[in-house]
């Protein structure tokens, strides 16, 4: 296994994160780089979903990945090994989220020239990451079937700030009492415009829809 670059993220000093996030978004626009902030609970399948999606997109877009984690390096190594895509690991040193300044610390280690897309895999947590604008163009999240379809009721902010909700592990739906219609209803209570894409990252089912969504997003944003 090849090593990956590991960045120890420091606490932010900026007082106004929203302002800083807008600034970062504008800088990324100048580079033509679209930033996606991907969030979820621990164990929802973020890394597997990402690997599948990246393999569908890597011939169409120039991509880099930043994997935020409290401690380990396993995710960035997995991504690099499975896709060949530039992946760096961000260590938050116990911090439960990333804000715009922390995201910038990661981006300082990415070659942005010519990069169409950077995906930030945020810390596994449905609470804190939702509170901080990272400077991304869009937020997406993964809800896995075993977590239950009632999660939009319990984590309202997370579902309010996400434009895409990927429902993962649909292969085990028969073993869990997961009601996709109810889930859709609850997601739309929080954000009526949110798109919902059911997938099985393990088999790849539905991942083409995620790749299409992302490709459209990047193209539309470049032409804006």
Tokens 């997938």 label which residue? 199
Q: Does 204 bind a copy of itself (CB under 8 A)?
A: no
Q: Does 215 bind a copy of itself (CB under 8 A)?
A: no
Whole-number Å distance between alpha carbons of 113 and 110: 9
Whole-number Å distance between alpha carbons of 61 and 57: 6
For the bound state, the minimum distance from the C-beta of residue 48 to a copy of itself, rounded and expressed in Å, comes to 10
Nearer to a copy of itself, 21 or 68 (CB): 68
For the bound state, the minimum distance from the C-beta of residue 131 to a copy of itself, rounded and expressed in Å, comes to 7
Nearer to a copy of itself, 126 or 207 (CB): 126
Tokens 């999606």 label which residue? 53
Whole-number Å distance between alpha carbons of 9 and 106: 8
For the bound state, the minimum distance from the C-beta of residue 63 to a copy of itself, rounded and expressed in Å, comes to 23
Q: Does 144 bind a copy of itself (CB under 8 A)?
A: yes
Q: What x/- string results for residues 181 through 200 when contact with a copy of itself is judged by CB under 8 A?
A: --------------------
Which positions ≥6 away from 32 have C-beta within 8 Å? 114, 115, 116, 222
Whole-number Å distance between alpha carbons of 97 and 69: 9
Nearer to a copy of itself, 24 or 141 (CB): 141
Q: Does 128 bind a copy of itself (CB under 8 A)?
A: yes
Which residues within the stretch 158-177 sit at the binding site for a copy of itself (CB under 8 A)?
Answer: 169, 171-172, 175-176
Q: Does 127 bind a copy of itself (CB under 8 A)?
A: yes
For the bound state, the minimum distance from the C-beta of residue 97 to a copy of itself, rounded and expressed in Å, comes to 8
For the bound state, the minimum distance from the C-beta of residue 137 to a copy of itself, rounded and expressed in Å, comes to 24
Q: Which of 51, 68, 110, 123 binds a copy of itself (CB under 8 A)?
A: 123
Which residues within the stretch 56-75 sit at the binding site for a copy of itself (CB under 8 A)?
Answer: 69-72, 74
Selection from 157, 141, 150 nearest residue 184 by Cα: 150
Q: Does 43 bind a copy of itself (CB under 8 A)?
A: yes
- Chain residues that interact with a copy of itself, rule: CB under 8 A: 41-43, 69-72, 74, 94, 96, 123-128, 131, 144-148, 150-151, 153-157, 169, 171-172, 175-176
């Amino acid at each position: 296994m090849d090593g990956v670059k590991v960045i120890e993220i420091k606490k932010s000093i900026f007082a106004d994160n929203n302002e800083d996030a807008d600034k970062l978004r504008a800088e990324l626009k100048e580079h033509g780089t679209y930033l996606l902030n991907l969030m979820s609970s621990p164990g929802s399948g973020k890394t597997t979903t990402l690997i599948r999606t990246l393999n569908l997109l890597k011939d169409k877009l120039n991509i880099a990945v930043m994997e935020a984690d409290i401690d380990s390096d396993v995710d960035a190594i997995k991504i690099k090994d499975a896709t060949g895509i530039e992946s760096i690991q961000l260590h938050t040193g116990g911090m439960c989220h990333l804000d715009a300044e922390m995201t910038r610390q990661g981006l300082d280690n990415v070659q942005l020239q010519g990069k169409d897309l950077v995906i930030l895999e945020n810390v596994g947590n449905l609470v804190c990451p939702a509170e901080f604008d990272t400077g991304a163009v869009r937020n997406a999240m993964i809800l896995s079937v075993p977590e239950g379809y009632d999660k939009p009721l319990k984590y309202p902010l997370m579902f309010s700030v996400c434009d895409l909700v990927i429902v993962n592990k649909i292969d085990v739906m028969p073993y869990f009492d997961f009601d996709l219609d109810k889930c859709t209803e609850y997601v739309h209570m929080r954000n009526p415009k949110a798109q919902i894409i059911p997938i099985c990252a393990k088999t790849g089912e539905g991942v083409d829809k995620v790749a299409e969504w992302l490709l459209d997003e990047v193209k539309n944003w470049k032409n804006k």
